[in-house]
Structure 1
């Protein structure tokens, strides 16, 4: 996905059980994604956010 701040940085998050670190993705009945844990980009724009029910929640 692209960083939601608009900087244009591509964000790749491993979802496989074998990956470390990895993120959990849940999709509700309205097809809205929720990611856990938060996404924290340590390089570039340094954004830190959660995705909850399809919405970005900035930290």
Structure 2
């Protein structure tokens, strides 16, 4: 996915259970994705956010 801040950085998240770190992906009845834990970029724009029910929730 691309960073939602608009910087254009590509974010790759591991969803495979055997690797660390990894994220859990859930899709609700309406097809909206949620990820756990939050996404926190350590380089570049340093965005930190949650994806819940298809919406971005920014962390302070």
**Range into which the TM-score falls when normalised by the shorter chain:** over 0.9
Q: 2:57 & 2:5 partners in 1: Cα distance?
A: 11
Structure 2 unmatched runs, 5+? none
Structure 1 unmatched runs, 5+? none
RMSD across aligned positions (CA): 0.3
Structure 1 residue 45 displacement after superposition:
0.2
When normalised by structure 2's length, the TM-score is 0.97
> Size of the alignment, in residue pairs?
59
The structure 1 segments of at least 4 consecutive aligned residues displaced by more than 3 Å after TM superposition are: none
Identify the residue that residue 12 of structure 1 maps to in structure 2. Answer: 12
Structure 1 residue 47 displacement after superposition:
0.0
Q: 1:17 & 1:46 partners in 2: Cα distance?
A: 25
Q: 2:10 & 2:58 partners in 1: Cα distance?
A: 17
When normalised by structure 1's length, the TM-score is 0.99
